[in-house]
Chains A and B, each alone.
Chain A
Amino acid sequence: MGRKKFHFCLSFCSVFVVVWASLVINTLTERGPIIFLKLAESLTGQFDGIIYPSGLDDGPDIDYENTRGLFVNYTKVMEITDNKYNLAPRKTFCGSRLGTDYSNIRTSYDEYYMQEYEREFLRTSDGQTTLPKPENIYGSNKDYPYQTCVVLMDTEREREIHLGAKYKYPAMTEGQCLINKYMADQMNVVEGDVVYNKFDIYQNLVSLIDEFNRIAFDIGVSRISREAVEEGNDNQQL
């Protein structure tokens, strides 16, 4: 009797293990491409394609910087395609510099300077937002020690097309930006602190001037020369 039981258990366990292992391997084989897809997404991002102007022969990657003045008209693209494709616009300013100032002092030793800064900040802020006045940004000698890529993204549109499906933050308002924890630790800043970005926006400004000049005559104002913008790095600070 005991021997029969032993044989039954042995055969049952053996068959169970073999069937279970076969099912696991079968599932892994079926899901293999999905596992590799997740791996690929972690390397490239959760988007399937990047559309860019043909003039960029070497092609862009995600940190493509628009230094040739070639743009894609997202509005026109959506119009032509009747909104049937999952597309979202992006802008990137690589080689930007990021810095901060006294607003991020945290030690009690520097409390006096913090209060000094707050008084100065209240005096110089634009009164509508918590952002400083432009003259206080351009007029001061701030340090911009960190090199970054500033990426502009349409949060709601990207949520619609499932680009970064796990992204939980709401759309940012004017003057807000997201930085990663590593950068925040390096600069000793916390949520709500002020950071400054300095970047080259020459091509964008030239395009805006051209756009303005198209309607300047109609609205009765004089045109602006392209030379009003200096070409080169760091001509824009936010």
Chain B
Amino acid sequence: MAIIGNETFGKYPKEALEDFVVMEYSPFYTQLAKFLPPGQLSNNRAFKQFLMEKGSQLSYDYSDFLMMTLPSPRVLYYSYNDYFEIQRGVTGYANQLIADLGFFPLKMDLDVLKQMELFSQAILFLGLVFDIIILLFVILSILLIYSLLMISVEAKTFEFGIMRMVGLSKSGIINMVFI
């Protein structure tokens, strides 16, 4: 027995952290052979031998369910802002798998996609808020540039006024600006 900390490592849902005991897959039936309940089964040496020899393979033949992950890097499938793009990628891959396995015998649940559907409204809302903030920044930038230009123009107007006052002609000021 070993102890893991309070982490799931993404192996199972967080809510199940306090309930789960994890064991290795392949030696399970072999171990089972050694600890069969008392009675006909534990007394049957042939059955125990059968489990000891083929237990590892049989455990794979009798899985309860299969876990699927998307091809690496799987993050790419979820990197779109539009939920329907995410859905198209994930369900496309899942449909291909189910088509290969046969639609009748097996079903598939896409739990992360379900969660992403719930979050899609939040993603949209967040995108909208960020767009508004960027718009505000753009307006602020325009005002800032306008303000700096106006300060500069006012300073120049004052300087040109002084120059006119000390005797510079209109054409002289124009020449000064352009040359």
Check A207 against B62 for contact (C-beta < 8 Å).
Answer: yes
Q: Which of A63, A137, A216 has the most CB of B within 10 A?
A: A63
Q: A37-B116, A80-B100, A169-B2 are in contact. Are A90 and B13 (CB under 8 A)?
A: no
CB within 8 A of A50: which of B19, B31, B109?
Answer: B109
Check B67 against A47 for contact (C-beta < 8 Å).
Answer: yes
Check A75 against B61 for contact (C-beta < 8 Å).
Answer: yes
- Asked if B178 lies at the interface with its beta carbon under 8 angstroms from chain A, I say no
Residues of chain A within 8 A of B57, CB atoms compared:
75
- Asked if B97 lies at the interface with its beta carbon under 8 angstroms from chain A, I say yes
- Asked if B41 lies at the interface with its beta carbon under 8 angstroms from chain A, I say yes
Check A161 against B101 for contact (C-beta < 8 Å).
Answer: no
**Docked pose: A160 CA to B37 CA in angstroms:** 35
Residues of chain B within 8 A of A147, CB atoms compared:
19
**Docked pose: A32 CA to B148 CA in angstroms:** 35
CB within 8 A of B111: which of A45, A91, A158?
Answer: A45
CB within 8 A of A163: which of B7, B10, B36, B46?
Answer: B10
A: number of interface residues (CB 8 Å): 129
Q: A86-B71, A162-B74, A163-B69 are in contact. Are A237 and B63 (CB under 8 A)?
A: no
**Docked pose: A201 CA to B106 CA in angstroms:** 22
| Residue of A with least CB distance to B44 | A224
**Docked pose: A194 CA to B2 CA in angstroms:** 9
Interface hits, B73-110 → A, CB 8 Å: 74-75, 77-81, 86, 90, 94, 97-98, 100-101, 104-110
Check A153 against B123 for contact (C-beta < 8 Å).
Answer: no
Check A47 against B105 for contact (C-beta < 8 Å).
Answer: no
Check A51 against B18 for contact (C-beta < 8 Å).
Answer: no
Residues of chain A within 8 A of B1, CB atoms compared:
176-179, 189, 191-195
- Asked if B32 lies at the interface with its beta carbon under 8 angstroms from chain A, I say yes
- Asked if A73 lies at the interface with its beta carbon under 8 angstroms from chain B, I say yes
| Residue of A with least CB distance to B24 | A172
Check A237 against B111 for contact (C-beta < 8 Å).
Answer: no
A7-47 Cβ-contact flags toward B at 8 Å (1 or 0) = 10001001100100110011011101110110111111111
Residues of chain A within 8 A of B160, CB atoms compared:
none
B: number of interface residues (CB 8 Å): 105
- Asked if A219 lies at the interface with its beta carbon under 8 angstroms from chain B, I say yes
Nearest Cβ distance between residue B60 and chain A, in whole angstroms? Answer: 5
Residues of chain B within 8 A of A166, CB atoms compared:
7, 9-10
- Asked if A122 lies at the interface with its beta carbon under 8 angstroms from chain B, I say no
Q: A47-B67, A48-B69, A75-B61 are in contact. Are A149 and B21 (CB under 8 A)?
A: yes
Check A180 against B18 for contact (C-beta < 8 Å).
Answer: yes
Check B101 against A64 for contact (C-beta < 8 Å).
Answer: no
Interface hits, B88-141 → A, CB 8 Å: 90, 94, 97-98, 100-101, 104-116, 119, 122-123, 126-127, 130-131, 133-134, 137, 140-141
| Residue of B with least CB distance to A7 | B151
**Docked pose: A7 CA to B113 CA in angstroms:** 52
Check B16 against A85 for contact (C-beta < 8 Å).
Answer: no
- Asked if A112 lies at the interface with its beta carbon under 8 angstroms from chain B, I say no
A64-86 Cβ-contact flags toward B at 8 Å (1 or 0) = 10100001111111001100011
- Asked if B58 lies at the interface with its beta carbon under 8 angstroms from chain A, I say yes
Residues of chain B within 8 A of A153, CB atoms compared:
11, 22-25
Nearest Cβ distance between residue A155 and chain B, in whole angstroms? Answer: 6
Residues of chain B within 8 A of A230, CB atoms compared:
37
Check A87 against B66 for contact (C-beta < 8 Å).
Answer: yes
| Residue of A with least CB distance to B45 | A221
Other 17 A-B pairs with CB < 8 A, given A50-B108, A89-B67 = A18-B140, A36-B123, A44-B112, A46-B9, A50-B68, A51-B67, A51-B107, A53-B105, A54-B107, A89-B25, A89-B59, A169-B2, A171-B24, A178-B21, A179-B1, A235-B37, A236-B35
Interchain residue pairs with CB less than 8 A apart (7): A11-B144, A14-B140, A42-B10, A126-B34, A178-B23, A181-B6, A209-B47
